[in-house]
Structure 1
């Protein structure tokens, strides 16, 4: 609220100043012509602090009236000048204006007169969108290539061209895995070494529709992260189609083509599999009738430990694989996102554009029949609003993020998700309020009238995405990682940083 009031005061001041000097010009009481024989002076500016794209009003003398003849830099970065009168300049604060040194230059060549404000503008860093790796050339024929994040187009990593979902290795936050619906390999994005590789080509998996990645938690028979669990969308063998696989971590801590891969569950058309973060059960689904199944992973680990043979058939082992409920009708494509406390889960219904919520029964250790909480049932669109009044268009991967402002409340997490065909990242509060967090650049969209694009920068003013499908969050570093399918890139949302020669 303080920020809104501050913005309001500045807008009123700017409008008052513009009106005042417009009236003076109309009465020909002030010509306002720049005089290169006289000094240019900055007497004040307002507001005194702010971030990129903050509107700034600079007061002073001898600015002239030709905006094309005036240059403003803040922290050495050029500002966009909107309007100029003899005694004020209206501009926007540029990105990366870290030092805040405010300079105005009027005129060109020998007639240029430069001045510096006596106090710096208080530049405030903000979260911005950047491109981590990947690229798309003008012909869109760059293909897939493992390699470094940086370098020439024929060297650096590229690909990321199918719908993807990501997951951090719980034992190494510098290792980010990504799987694809249509590209068989699971790739490793090594954030420390800035390298993309494909350690798991999954020759034993029946098809190439890998829909999700998760990991086991600490339990009676296995330690946290000992196993990777992936879901494969496959129905080539009827009700016994391998759908969920479990991959054992190698002794050296890696996952690769030498890792032991076993079928964990066989049914058909699984869109995703998620592990309960507290109790460790596995929940997976089927596109067939919108079913949700539960498996106590300890039963698998106990069987293997005792030398037994695991039977993955869901239909033949309905006491081990329990069908909990169906979420709606047949052919519901959805994925399961479990709250960090394990108390509830969101089901993101991708092809029907809404979210359901299922609460967790602490006694039975099962999720119960879900209910709709946000978006329009079978109605796509774009609208920031509350609950079912909001509109989304193919919501894909989501992640819960702790919000310190909610400390002490019943739910301390917001839910962020990528809205694929709205080309943006959205946020849903515990009360079901959906807002747009990043994308659909307000200013960049003006140029081509598209809400989609490849622009990095300010979250709402500049940044644009295209068909975003994957999203994860590193809470230690406060960084979001976004998979931009059509842009063929991995994008980030993080606090902007000053780049110096020592860390370039």
Structure 2
């Protein structure tokens, strides 16, 4: 608590100092309007390095005095501009702009980039426990400190950053409100619900029971009360569900590897085959997620092929993307590196961040892996391969026990259903 108070005091004093400096500039007559006949210049910035939310000052000329007309960029990430006078801009460092950042300023239609030095960004990473009592199983509702969890499996985040999850053993669907400090049970079906498919605005979601006999709709406007809206109409088991670009359709991954399309306007037994080819998985568990960045689906083949497949948005192309030790491989194991040579051991949960990178929860390796969609390189971002346990802190020293469900909130913080530890964890990279 003492350190926290010191931190607040430091930032408070820094804000006052910066505000005083800016106002002193104004008093000296430098806070004049932008002059389009003169160039915008950057003379210096400080500090030279820092983390997210570091206070940042740019010195120069002809910035004007209207913050609404000024933009500051760290590489391609826009920063929040707090105040502007004609020879100074006060801003804060945005989240993850890159390791080495070119600072650019735009004033109305004029722009300038500073080429004399770059800002060095330091990443802050941590794993923390959000809710649940590690190693203590239960199913008690209540406050975040009192609530207990049995076997959290699938997880999703709504537009208010409420966490919704399904429990594998109790079958309960529960809502965790971080803002209201409470955990409540929404619904307990007779058959476990599988992965959730949220709409783009995150105000409603769909889920099917394991055997596909019922598809439920949960809507915030209806207080998350479940409503039966359809059925798969297909014999088999369905372990994953996603929504694509068109909100009229749901996409469900069957245990044999086929992806089916459900028309929500006529969803009673009207699922049609979407993927062009079934992979011989025969009972394999898996998942599916849609990438709006790439406009495609990523399909997890968990305990049979230990791989990730890429399915085109029109359903015509279904190909191996990562894992299995090669394009035709189905080997399990642990290996980072190029996606086509990487190894996974029972991947299950999948989530895609706002940059389009793919994150995988590995049930048997007890790790969280990342696939960079630009470089197609697989890396470990949290956990220790093959080591189960419970430990918060540095991501690569943290321990998980059978992580399964993954979901990003709107700030790109990753929430993890840590099934064996009976809790919800959070990976912060900023």
Deviation at 1:250, TM superposition (A): 6.4
Contact preservation (8 Å) 2:360, 2:368: yes
Q: 1:125 to 1:193 in 2, by over 3 A?
A: farther
Distance, in Å, in 2 between the alignment partners of 1:386 and 1:123 is 26
Match 1:469 to one of 404, 414, 427: 404
Deviation at 1:350, TM superposition (A): 1.0
Distance, in Å, in 1 between the alignment partners of 2:219 and 2:185 is 15
- Size of the aligned set, in residue pairs, is 307
Matched, 1:438 2:386: no
Aligned twin of 2:286: 334
Distance, in Å, in 2 between the alignment partners of 1:324 and 1:486 is 33
Matched, 1:158 2:93: no
Q: 1:364-417 CA deviation, whole Å, 9 max, x = no partner?
A: xx32231111111331101112122111011111111234xxxxxxxxx21111
Aligned twin of 1:81: none
Q: 1:198 to 1:128 in 2, by over 3 A?
A: same
Distance, in Å, in 2 between the alignment partners of 1:248 and 1:421 is 31
Aligned pairs (5 A) from 1:346-361: 346-352=298-304, 353-360=306-313
Q: 1:91-131 CA deviation, whole Å, 9 max, x = no partner?
A: xxxxxxxxxxxxxxxxxxxxxxxxxxxxxxx9967110111
- Normalising by structure 1, we get a TM-score of 0.56
Q: What is the aligned-residue RMSD (CA, Å)?
A: 2.8
Q: 1:386 to 1:123 in 2, by over 3 A?
A: closer
Distance, in Å, in 2 between the alignment partners of 1:249 and 1:348 is 27
Match 2:176 to one of 189, 205, 209: 189
Matched, 1:131 2:99: no
Contact preservation (8 Å) 2:171, 2:192: yes
Distance, in Å, in 2 between the alignment partners of 1:225 and 1:282 is 15
Match 1:275 to one of 243, 268, 279: 243
Q: Mind listing any 5+ residue stretches in structure 1 that lack a counterpart?
A: 1-47, 52-121, 151-155, 218-223, 235-240, 301-309, 315-319, 361-365, 404-412, 442-449, 497-504
Q: 1:452 to 1:50 in 2, by over 3 A?
A: farther
Aligned pairs (5 A) from 1:25-174: 126-137=124-135, 140=136, 142-150=137-145, 156-162=146-152, 164-169=153-158, 172-174=159-161
Contact preservation (8 Å) 1:181, 1:208: no
Aligned pairs (5 A) from 1:70-469: 126-137=124-135, 140=136, 142-150=137-145, 156-162=146-152, 164-169=153-158, 172-202=159-189, 207-217=190-200, 227-234=204-211, 242=213, 244-249=214-219, 251=221, 253-256=222-225, 259-267=226-234, 268-278=236-246, 280-287=248-255, 289-297=256-264, 299-300=265-266, 312-314=268-270, 321-329=272-280, 330-341=282-293, 343-352=295-304, 353-360=306-313, 366-376=314-324, 377-403=329-355, 413-430=356-373, 431-440=375-384, 451-460=387-396, 462-469=397-404
Contact preservation (8 Å) 2:165, 2:173: yes
Q: 1:440-490 CA deviation, whole Å, 9 max, x = no partner?
A: 19xxxxxxxx72221111111x211111001111232x4211111111111
Contact preservation (8 Å) 1:424, 1:468: yes
Contact preservation (8 Å) 1:327, 1:369: no
Distance, in Å, in 1 between the alignment partners of 2:285 and 2:188 is 25
Contact preservation (8 Å) 1:248, 1:261: no
Q: 1:495 to 1:368 in 2, by over 3 A?
A: closer
Distance, in Å, in 2 between the alignment partners of 1:272 and 1:213 is 8
Distance, in Å, in 1 between the alignment partners of 2:342 and 2:380 is 11
Q: Mind listing any 5+ residue stretches in structure 2 that lack a counterpart?
A: 1-47, 52-119
Distance, in Å, in 2 between the alignment partners of 1:49 and 1:383 is 33
- Normalising by structure 2, we get a TM-score of 0.65
Contact preservation (8 Å) 1:354, 1:374: yes
Q: 1:423 to 1:208 in 2, by over 3 A?
A: same
Distance, in Å, in 1 between the alignment partners of 2:365 and 2:144 is 27
Matched position secondary structure for 1:379: coil
Aligned twin of 2:89: none
Distance, in Å, in 2 between the alignment partners of 1:226 and 1:416 is 23
